[in-house]
Amino acid sequence: MRPFNHENAFTGLEAAIVLIAFVVVAAVFSYVVLGAGFFTTQKSQEVVHTGVQQASSTLEIVGNVYGTGTAGTSIDTINFSAALAPGGTPVDFDKVVITYSNTSVLETLARGTKLNAPGAGQWTIASVQNEVTNDDVLERGEQFDIMAKPSSAIMKNDQFQMEIKPAIGAALSISRTAPASIQKVNIIY
């Protein structure tokens, strides 16, 4: 008698096992590829949102920029009002840096005490209009009146620049020239 040798029956079973193994490996590979694609897409989206947030300025000057000082001599304090630009995100003024520069001076002004006149080389929030919350965060509808006092006086026809740099967002630059005839209160253009 011949032993039973039916290799043909096992060939179909082996083929099914190999096919199932290929399907499982392909499923795992596609899961890894799709996961990496979703991760990359999410990181790209975060980069775009961060870039837009960093590039857009959220502050704007409301009204005129004023300079006060000694009539006929010099301007020692710069006054302006800041508000959020339309669609701007709130700005924490505890983290704002203000710099002053002219042809001979570049200085970072220190933060003075809120609602008090600043000393030389300082800036402060002089008053708050339409206060939403009692803090130093400029929110929609609020307006902060800022007083800045550089350590050196601004003379007739001096050109100067101030930059208000929030922690997030682009800096707001104020470039002005002192008038030829200085009064006690001056609108600076």
Give the span between the Cα atoms of 4 and 137, in whole angstroms. 88
pLDDT tens digit string along 60-95? 999 999 999 999 999 999 999 999 988 888 999 999
Q: Are 59 and 82 in contact (CB under 8 A)?
A: yes
pTM: 0.71
List the beta bridge partners of residue 149: 122
pLDDT tens digit string along 141-187? 999 999 999 999 999 999 999 999 998 888 899 999 999 999 999 99
Alpha-carbon dihedral angle through residues 130, 133, 138, 139, given to the nearest 10 degrees = -80
CA angle 125, 126, 129 (to 5 degrees): 90
- Token pair, residue 82, equals 């800041």
